[in-house]
């Protein structure tokens, strides 16, 4: 689980990479669930929320960037 404070320290490129990495992990978990190999289904919820958290902070940083121009 990624903390919001850790994500806020990253720049826009770092956040985009984090979102991409989390989406890959979530896809892998979904495939495991589809093939009935996933034991902990709660991890799907955690990764989905991590993606949302990262996307929210990314949107805030982009808004700050455009507001400061």
Confidence (pLDDT) at 65? 85
Confidence (pLDDT) at 61? 93
Question: pLDDT tens digit string along 24-59?
Answer: 999 999 999 999 999 999 999 999 999 999 999 999
How does residue 17 score in pLDDT terms, banded at 50, 70 and 90?
very high
Q: Cα–Cα distance between 22 and 45 in angstroms, integer?
A: 12
Two tokens, residue 9: 């320290």
The per-residue DSSP string of 5-63 comes to HHHHTS-HHHHHHHHHHHHHHHHHHHHHHHTT--S-THHHHHHHHHHHHHHHHHHHHHH
Confidence (pLDDT) at 68? 79
Confidence (pLDDT) at 2? 67
Residues listed for the chain: 69
pTM over 0.85: yes
Q: Tell the CATH topology of 4-65.
A: Helix Hairpins (1.10.287)
């Amino acid at each position: 689980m990624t903390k919001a404070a850790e994500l806020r320290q990253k720049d826009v490129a770092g956040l985009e990479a984090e979102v991409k990495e989390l989406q890959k992990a979530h896809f892998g978990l979904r495939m495991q669930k589809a093939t009935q190999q996933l034991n902990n289904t709660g991890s799907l919820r955690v990764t989905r929320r991590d993606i949302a958290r990262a996307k929210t902070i990314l949107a805030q940083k982009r808004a700050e960037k455009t507001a400061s121009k």
